[in-house]
Amino acid sequence: MPEFEAILFDFDGVLLDSEPVHYACWAEVLAPVGVTLEWEFFRQHGIGVEDREILRMMAARSDPPRKWEELWALYPAKKKLFQARMAQLPPFDPSLDGFLSELHGLYKLAVVSSSSITEIAPILAAGGIGRHFDTLVGGEDVKHHKPAPDPYLLAAQRLGVRAALVVEDSEAGMASGRAAGFEVLAVKGPADLRERVLGRCNLT
């Protein structure tokens, strides 16, 4: 019997390296209102963090400080830009479909992300891999985001599982998985995902 009943994947930076695209889209919509978003700041503080929280940090550190709601008004523009960019890119590693298909025969699978389901679901569909997931948990589904345990607890509850393996690339995400009481497997990105997961699940 497998050690885990489910594998819960973070999205950005795990299934898809979309963080540089998120960054570029935010930087582009913030620039016209005089807010400069630097990659180094985003890389350190923005990866794996919910959009509202990123904007709260941006608003607090802008000079003079701004109301974060002012910046939040740019979210629809950022989202639209992100979707357009994602539709242009060949989004996923070609081996991902077969890999998820193999896993789905053995485990329940979920995507657990701080991004909105309305962003993630079309990308999964465009990549032809949406069918492998039993549930998607997005930023709009929980009150407390990563690093709180809520997103991973909700995924496990929806799947009806107690033992899950969480696959994450960010500190906030790993903390969330651990707080939910699950084992966390750290990956660097889509490039080492398959090898890391198959190794941990003794499927190599």
* Binding region for Mg ion (CB under 5 A): 10, 12-13, 48, 169-170
Token representation of residue 176: 């969330």
Please say which residue, 58 or 147, places its beta carbon nearer to Mg ion.
Answer: 147
Closest chain position to Mg ion (CB) = 13
The span from the CA of 73 to the CA of 52, in Å, is 11
DSSP secondary structure code for residue 160 in this structure = T
To the nearest whole angstrom, how small is the minimum distance from the Cβ of residue 10 to Mg ion?
4
To the nearest whole angstrom, how small is the minimum distance from the Cβ of residue 14 to Mg ion?
5
Beta strands in 113-161 (DSSP E): 135-137
To the nearest whole angstrom, how small is the minimum distance from the Cβ of residue 21 to Mg ion?
13
Please say which residue, 13 or 138, places its beta carbon nearer to Mg ion.
Answer: 13
Token representation of residue 94: 């070609």
To the nearest whole angstrom, how small is the minimum distance from the Cβ of residue 85 to Mg ion?
17
Please say which residue, 35 or 54, places its beta carbon nearer to Mg ion.
Answer: 54
Which of 159, 164, 171 is CA-nearest to residue 135? 159
To the nearest whole angstrom, how small is the minimum distance from the Cβ of residue 66 to Mg ion?
27
HSE toward the beta carbon, residue 125, CA cutoff 13 A: 8
Please say which residue, 62 or 190, places its beta carbon nearer to Mg ion.
Answer: 190
The residues, any chain, with a CB within 8 Å of residue 69's CB and separated by 6 or more, are none
Please say which residue, 66 or 117, places its beta carbon nearer to Mg ion.
Answer: 117
Which of 2, 46, 1 is CA-nearest to residue 20? 46
